[in-house]
Structure 1
Amino acid sequence: MERHDTPGNPPRHVHPVAASPLRRTATFRNIFIASVATRGLLRTCLPSNIALDLIRSRRGLKWGVPAMLISGLYFAIAYWCTVKIDTGGPGWEWLHMVVLVCFWSAFKFLIMGPVSLVLLAWARATEGIQSRREETTATDHEEAAEPVHADR
């Protein structure tokens, strides 16, 4: 009979693959690589990400609050998918991923409304400061260009 507690053999209750730190590192690396690739794909292809990129631009900040209404559409799609899943039927299990993506996109639009208002206020304040600085430097240059008349 073979002993499992000798120095060459691990104890019986420890799985050799689960105990390997090299295996855990490789698993973490693979998960990280897959998540980065998935993010890159969804960043360029998902319509909500494209719309949010447009809203985050300076010209699009004013559309942040009206875009919050799009979250209602995403919630409706998620609800419809959950109804389809609950009614059963073969092959509807993949809709769980659609529900997840719809909820994620809906919450992104809900959050973007108030965030866009803050960003818009910040952008307008920065633009106001810059325009006042430009006016000040322009008037300084005009005053320096005018000849000084001495009244004698």
Structure 2
Amino acid sequence: MLRLIWTLSVHTRTYLRRYMPTNRLLDAIRTRRGLKWGIPTMLLAIPYLLAAAVCRLLIEGGGPGWLHLLVILFIWNAMKLTIMGPASVVLLIRARATERVERRRGEASEMFRAA
């Protein structure tokens, strides 16, 4: 039973990772080239929150109950995008520090070879 649950969760994660737009966007941002887009990505949370508010208004107006799932999905995506902004800044600072250290090591080895 545990193996079945584990396998199902792995396949679900793989499917969501591959086909859901916010997951693909976040994967692209986590690359070295994409880290600079973390803060502008936070702005994409606004349409998700607006969509959640619209769905909530529809629910309050007597809309179908399945809209609750959309509200949860929209809020979850907004949270992911909002958190990725500061996280990408931290990752960018760490990547630049690593690159700086590697560059200095390269310069030091060049000076050692020249001498």
TM exceeding 0.5: yes
1:35 to partner: Cα distance: 3.4
1:31 to partner: Cα distance: 4.8
Count of aligned positions: 115
1:34 to partner: Cα distance: 3.8
1:105 to partner: Cα distance: 0.8
What residue in structure 2 maps to residue 128 of structure 1? 100
Structure 1 SS opposite 2:114: helix
Structure 2 SS opposite 1:57: coil
Q: Which is worse superposed, 118-127 or 97-106?
A: 97-106
Quote the Cα distance in structure 2 between the aligned partners of 1:40 and 1:61.
23
Code of the aligned partner of 1:131? R
What residue in structure 2 maps to residue 65 of structure 1? 39
Structure 2 residue runs without a partner (length 5+): none
**1:15-34 → structure 2 map (5 Å cutoff):** 26=1, 31-34=5-8
What residue in structure 1 maps to residue 68 of structure 2? 96
Quote the Cα distance in structure 1 between the aligned partners of 2:6 and 2:61.
36
Structure 2 SS opposite 1:69: helix
Quote the Cα distance in structure 1 between the aligned partners of 2:62 and 2:16.
28
- Compare the two structures and name the one with the higher helix fraction: 2
1:93 to partner: Cα distance: 2.1
Q: TM-score, normalised by structure 2?
A: 0.90
Q: TM-score, normalised by structure 1?
A: 0.69
RMSD: 1.6
